[in-house]
Structure 1
């Protein structure tokens, strides 16, 4: 049973690992911090996976765990990500090469997004991932109307940041 659980987790993580990379990119500023946060999110996903009921899509659940982990660590450490050892489980995940070509084009936008607060960053991230407001509200635990209002305010805020 444990091997089946581990196998299904690794398979889903490999399939959706770009979600975790994107969360890491949003909340870190360098390669080492990115890798540390990726590892920490993976650990938290593994710890929570046995409780995953499938009420939401795996990717939506993964966004929620990843964002919550990143926000919690970000707040605790004031931009220094601390990792924890996780003994007893060894994952053999084929890591995709992380291509940052597209991100170079978005560098200015990321710089502006880094000036937003944690919840605003998460909302922008999900919006840029083409999530509808229902999925955004489920992931962030806010109402759909609240998600729409916040997104409109964030758009105005980003316009001000990008065009001073």
Structure 2
């Protein structure tokens, strides 16, 4: 191996770019979970990448996996962005059913194919506060309670409790309205 090739392999920029490329799904999931507008999503993707690059010199593979480290950064950046937007829009109305129906299905199997249940689930997730949204996105990404706790900086028992309450809340919100009994 030549010195030039060895130096490239040891370059922090190349290592970071390679790791970010391997784990880009994490950044995409977080960005999609927090931004429905494509422009806002692109901005968030860029902000996450920049913050991850700035923090990369402090990344210690012996302390955590890159995916866990990247999730933590991505969620923190996304939550900060949500807070900034919320401060700018003091009176934010929830999306109405017509607006939700107009959203593209984030997991469509075929172009144009939608699943009303998934759209409804994302609508409920969109209404969650930033911490609970992060918790639910990690849960839906099939992360373990231990990993969720590590990423969010809370205890595993707190994760279990919050997830139980969130699942119950989502079930209630997605349940069809009860039909009144007739005597």
TM-score bracket for the superposition, by shorter chain length: 0.7 to 0.9
> Alignment RMSD, CA only?
2.1
Structure 1 position 8, deviation (Å): 0.4
Report which of the two structures shows the higher radius of gyration computed on alpha carbons.
2
Q: For residues 75 and 87 of structure 2, what CA distance do their matches in structure 1 show?
A: 15
Question: Which residue, 131, 140, 159 being the options, matches 2:152?
Answer: 140
Corresponding position of 1:4:
11
Q: For residues 127 and 112 of structure 1, what CA distance do their matches in structure 2 show?
A: 15
Question: Which residue, 131, 134, 138 being the options, matches 1:122?
Answer: 134
- Checking the alignment, whether the CA contact within 8 Å between 1:37 and 1:70 is kept in structure 2 is yes
Q: For residues 49 and 6 of structure 1, what CA distance do their matches in structure 2 show?
A: 9
Q: For residues 35 and 41 of structure 1, what CA distance do their matches in structure 2 show?
A: 10
Confirm or deny that 1:42 pairs with 2:55: no
Please give the TM-score of this superposition, normalised by the length of structure 2: 0.74
SS at structure 1 position matched to 2:23: helix
Q: How does 1:83-98 map to 2 (within 5 A)?
A: none
Please give the TM-score of this superposition, normalised by the length of structure 1: 0.82
Q: How does 1:72-111 map to 2 (within 5 A)?
A: 72-78=80-86, 100-102=107-109, 104-105=114-115, 106-111=118-123
Corresponding position of 1:69:
77
Change beyond 3 A, Cα 1:125–1:5:
same
Structure 1 position 77, deviation (Å): 2.1
For structure 2, which runs of at least 5 residues remain unmatched after alignment?
A: 1-6, 89-105, 178-183
Corresponding position of 1:153:
165
Corresponding position of 1:88:
none
**Larger RCO: Structure 1 or Structure 2 (Cα < 8 Å, ≥ 6 residues apart)?**
1
Q: For residues 21 and 142 of structure 1, what CA distance do their matches in structure 2 show?
A: 23
Change beyond 3 A, Cα 1:157–1:124:
same
Count of aligned residue pairs for this structure pair: 146
Q: For residues 107 and 13 of structure 1, what CA distance do their matches in structure 2 show?
A: 29
SS at structure 1 position matched to 2:143: coil
The runs of at least 4 aligned residues of structure 1 exceeding 6 Å deviation read none
Q: For residues 161 and 74 of structure 1, what CA distance do their matches in structure 2 show?
A: 23
For structure 1, which runs of at least 5 residues remain unmatched after alignment?
A: 81-98
